[in-house]
Amino acid sequence: MEPFQVASFMTAGVLIVTGLWALLMMDNILKKIIGANLIGDGANLVLISIGYRPGGFIPEVMHHFHATATPSNYSHLLQFEEFASNASYSLPFALVLTNIVIGASTLSVMLALAVVLYKKYHTLSVQKMFEGDE
Amino acid sequence: MMFDYILLFAVALSALMAIIQENLYKSIIILTFESFSLAAIFHFLLATDVAAVQAILGAALLPGLFIVALYKTTKGRDE
Amino acid sequence: MLNNSTLIPLMVVLPLIMAILVNFLHQKDKSVKFISIVSLIVFVFIPVVTLYGVHLFSGHLRTGSFPEISKLLIPDVYMGIVYSYGSVQKILMVVLTIITGFTVLTVLNKKMISGVYIAMIFISLASTSAIMLADDIFNFFVFTEILVVAQVALVIAVQDTKSFKAGFKYMIFGTISGASILLGIALLLGVYGLLNITDLSNAIKAGGQLNPIALSAVSLLTLGWLYESGLFPFHIIKCNMYENAKPEISALLQVQSKFVLVAMAIILFRVFSGFALLKSVMLGFAIFTVVLGSVMALQQVELRKLLSFVAVSQAGLVAVGFGIGTSFAIAAGIFHAINDVLSMAILFFIASFVYDKFKTTKLEELGDGLQVVPLVGFVMLLATLAISGVPPFNSYQSEWRLIQAAAQAGVPELGVLVILLSVATFVAIIKAFFMIFMKPGPKVEVNTEVRGTMFKAIIVILILTCLAIGLFPNIIYDPIYNFVVSLGV
């Protein structure tokens, strides 16, 4: 139970809750978009903290990965035993890289929509923009 | 040793401050600081390649887009 | 080189390449038209020709043994990304590509052709194909996010204030649901160390009792499923999307939503087969959607909004099939998705034709349609019968199977719900039919230069398909039933 990993999970929780509150409760449209950014950051931090191996919280899945290296064309990696037992599990990194890019593109579309809505309504307040809808 | 815990606390605190701020320019600057601290946290969690991507996108590209959007949405500045 | 295993990812890769190409050729109308029509023919051809199978990306095989990994509960895992193509995927892909083809033909028929618009249609086709084919849960998540952006792009192309607002609300809630799907995937990765759906389902079955972290994962993934399919808390957002897009695009959007519903529900059932509460929760949300959608559809006075509420309530009916949970009910639900998609596509294409020809879709401003376009009126009457489950058409076969499945599972009250929904749908759409085509209306200006031959051909082909499926249902139903039984849910 590595304390740094537990602290990262808690920070990620704070980020997600803060982002969710901003996304749903704030009146300014740009604050909602900042909230969306924070939710994405929190989810990425959860993903990376899960793979933190040195004494980590959910580590035991790939516990003795370096000892087996079963496919025979990977057997040349058996010499890196010290690295393999101290490095983090690297599969979540690929997921996070993809997710950062997805988040950035979604955010840019939302910002463009916010600019267009401002041009029509001349206000940044969501209350005034969506007031006639059921 | 304590530096990474300070960074974690800074991330959480600046996220809260970024959405409480009234002035949106200040809010975006605090958001930049938060993204950069998050990139440092990723490095301390042994994910340095992800830290590089997060630093570029979260601390350079996205605040740039936010500031352009903010510029175009303040009164009297739309072309 | 071009063997069967290469054709499976081609169903995703080729629309993406064609989207980039068409986007690049944006202002050159003739090239865009030519490339779109050629690629549509190829897109319909590939799913028909491909045989059933599995594609392993980069040749990573299923491994032999992992003897010393302590918590990995199964001996064989897939080492890479896997796409699998079975009988249900084949039928759904053929229907999806045909309706996409019809939509693109309608879009190409107008005066102004935009390469970016057709590129977005192709990207949404590629994402929906990948969602149906993927056996890897993170690949599935990436394509759901791409699908959200592509659908929003299609809706905001109308450049109307209401469509901007609809697109913005869709993206706001899309962020929440994307984050919850990602957190569910993260929890599953943390506990089981696997991302492949087949391996996850084997690992969860081998694990014995229910793991509380997996319980949190299933609730997060169910929230994502509710958003992607447009069920109970998010049905208003989906309806806003359908009513504010151009109606031929709505015909495409509702196909994609229902097929994503089917694909994601199959994934949830395969991975979380031990959770008995999952089916009850899905059933609850589905019943809410059916009731709310049909009640709101009866109150509408504008054609596109009425059709969008009907589409949402029929999606709820498909989810009722999944919620009942037996193999018979799930197969009936998938069959109903296919039938309903075809009938709703006819109605949305008719709405597009009415919008082009009469320039309005408010029901009290229309009237006397039968004197101007008798064929379209007749097809709309047949489509109303088709969607409500009247015998020679296809929805009768699927709704009958749903009622029988509900009775066999011990909940015959749901059969009453199905019948009430079909009555409500019939009343809502026949009201629209009467007000557009039969009532003596105020003088509505008719756009005489809109001949609509392409529309008429499309809706006649679709209604004949509905009739054919209604008369010979077992050609489509038996492969679906065998597939569901082989899943073992």
pLDDT digits (tens, 9 = 90+) for C139-187: 999 999 999 999 999 999 988 999 999 999 999 999 999 999 999 999 9
Which residue of chain C has the CA closest to A41?
A: C179
Per-residue pLDDT of chain B (79 residues; tens, 9 = 90+): 688 899 999 999 999 999 999 999 999 999 999 999 999 999 988 889 999 999 999 989 999 999 999 999 886 555 4
| Helix residue spans in C359-452 (DSSP H) | 369-372, 374-388, 394-408, 413-433
| Residues of chain C found within 8 Å of residue A91, distances taken between Cβ atoms | 189, 195
Residue C73: per-residue pLDDT: 62
State how far the Cα of C175 lies from the Cα of C405, in Å rounded to an integer: 36
Higher pLDDT residue, C275 or A48? A48
Higher pLDDT residue, C248 or C366? C248
State how far the Cα of C195 lies from the Cα of C197, in Å rounded to an integer: 6
Q: What is the mean pLDDT of residues C42-46?
A: 93
pLDDT digits (tens, 9 = 90+) for C382-405: 999 999 989 889 999 999 999 999
Residue A116 sits at φ, ψ, to 5 deg, of -65, -40
pLDDT at C32 over 70: yes
Task: Reduce the DSSP state of residue C85 to 3 states and report it.
Answer: strand
pLDDT digits (tens, 9 = 90+) for A10-46: 999 999 999 999 999 999 999 999 999 999 999 999 9
Find out whether C4 and C51 touch, Cβ atoms under 8 Å: yes
pLDDT digits (tens, 9 = 90+) for C404-425: 999 999 888 999 999 999 999 9
State how far the Cα of B38 lies from the Cα of A51, in Å rounded to an integer: 16
β-sheet bridge partners, residue C78: C62
Give residue for tokens 């980069």.
C58
Residue C153: per-residue pLDDT: 94
Residue C373: per-residue pLDDT: 85
Q: What token pair was written down for B37?
A: 């601290």
Residue C317: per-residue pLDDT: 94
A118 at B interface, C-beta within 8 A: yes
The listed range with the strongest mean pLDDT (C11-25, C64-78, C348-362) is C11-25
State how far the Cα of C190 lies from the Cα of C199, in Å rounded to an integer: 14
Q: What is the mean pLDDT of residues C207-214?
A: 79
Residue C139: per-residue pLDDT: 94
Find out whether C313 and C293 touch, Cβ atoms under 8 Å: yes
State how far the Cα of C330 lies from the Cα of C313, in Å rounded to an integer: 17
Residue B77: count of CB within 10 angstroms of its CB: 9
Find out whether C69 and A69 touch, Cβ atoms under 8 Å: no
Residue C71: per-residue pLDDT: 53
Residue C330: count of CB within 10 angstroms of its CB: 27
pLDDT at C17 over 80: yes
Tell me the residue type at C11.
M
Residue A71: count of CB within 10 angstroms of its CB: 12
CA–CA min distance A11, chain B (Å): 6
Higher pLDDT residue, B79 or A134? A134
> Measured between CB atoms, which of B8, B19, B69 is closest to A18?
B19
> Measured between CB atoms, which of A28, A88, A100 is closest to B57?
A100
Tell me the residue type at B24.
L
Find out whether C310 and C428 touch, Cβ atoms under 8 Å: yes
- Say yes or no for a CB contact (<8 Å) between B46 and A49: no
A129 at B interface, C-beta within 8 A: no
Residue C439: per-residue pLDDT: 81
pLDDT at C6 over 90: no
Q: What is the mean pLDDT of residues C219-247?
A: 93
Q: For C412-421, b where at least 16 C-beta lie within 10 A, e where not — what string?
A: eebbebbeeb
Confidence of residue A55 (pLDDT cuts 50, 70, 90): low
> Mean pLDDT over all residues of chain A?
82
| Residues of chain A found within 8 Å of residue B16, distances taken between Cβ atoms | 14, 18
Cβ pairs bridging A and B (under 8 Å)? 114
Confidence of residue C335 (pLDDT cuts 50, 70, 90): very high
State how far the Cα of A110 lies from the Cα of C65, in Å rounded to an integer: 47
Q: What is the mean pLDDT of residues C446-464?
A: 84
CA–CA min distance A106, chain C (Å): 7
Find out whether C221 and C179 touch, Cβ atoms under 8 Å: no
Q: What token pair was written down for C3?
A: 């063997």
Q: Are strands C53-56 and C82-85 parallel, antiparallel or unpaired?
A: antiparallel
The listed range with the strongest mean pLDDT (A68-82, C99-113, C197-211) is C99-113
| Residues of chain B found within 8 Å of residue A7, distances taken between Cβ atoms | 5, 8
- Say yes or no for a CB contact (<8 Å) between A100 and B66: no
Task: Residue C47: name the closest of C118, C133, C111 by CA.
Answer: C133
Q: Give pTM, 2 decimals.
A: 0.93
- Say yes or no for a CB contact (<8 Å) between B16 and A18: yes
Residues 6 or more apart whose Cβ sits within 8 Å of residue B40: B7, B51
| Residues of chain A found within 8 Å of residue B27, distances taken between Cβ atoms | 31, 34
Please give the torsion angle defined by the CA atoms of residues C97, C98, C99 and C102, in that order, rounded to the nearest 10 degrees. 120
Residue C372: per-residue pLDDT: 82
- Say yes or no for a CB contact (<8 Å) between A109 and C171: yes
pLDDT at A62 over 80: no
Chain A (72-101) residues lying within 8 Å, Cβ to Cβ, of chain C:
89, 91-92, 95, 98-99
Q: Residue C25, Cα to own-chain centre: how many angstroms? A: 29
Confidence of residue A65 (pLDDT cuts 50, 70, 90): very low
State how far the Cα of A52 lies from the Cα of C328, in Å rounded to an integer: 44
CA angle C349, C351, C355 (to 5 degrees): 115
Give residue for tokens 């994934």.
C267
- Say yes or no for a CB contact (<8 Å) between B19 and A31: yes
Task: Out of A71-75, C41-45, C64-68, pick the least confident.
Answer: C64-68
Residue A64: per-residue pLDDT: 44
| Residues of chain C found within 8 Å of residue A117, distances taken between Cβ atoms | 161, 164-165, 168
β-sheet bridge partners, residue C56: C82
Higher pLDDT residue, C12 or C79? C12
pLDDT at C248 over 50: yes
Confidence of residue A86 (pLDDT cuts 50, 70, 90): confident
Please give the C-alpha separations between residue C58 and each of A114, B38, C55, C61, C78, in angstroms, as whole numbers: 41, 33, 9, 9, 12
Q: What token pair was written down for C423?
A: 């009555």
Please give the C-alpha separations between residue C482 and each of A80, A125, C96, C327, C331, in angstroms, as whole numbers: 48, 54, 21, 9, 9
Q: What token pair was written down for C128?
A: 């929906």
Find out whether A48 and A93 touch, Cβ atoms under 8 Å: yes
Q: What token pair was written down for B42?
A: 């990723």
Find out whether A51 and B48 touch, Cβ atoms under 8 Å: no
> Mean pLDDT over all residues of chain C?
89
Touch between C and B (at least 3 CB pairs under 8 Å):
no
Residue B57: per-residue pLDDT: 93
Residues 6 or more apart whose Cβ sits within 8 Å of residue C81: C56, C57, C134, C135, C136, C139
Q: For C193-221, b where at least 16 C-beta lie within 10 A, e where not — what string?
A: bbbbbbbbbbbbeebeeebeebeebbebb
Q: What token pair was written down for C229?
A: 């399919």
Q: How is C306-364 classified by DSSP, letter by letter?
A: HHHHHHHHHHHHHHHHHHH-SHHHHHHHHHHHHHHHHHHHHHHHHHHHHHHHHS--BGG
Which residue of chain B has the CA closest to A14?
A: B12
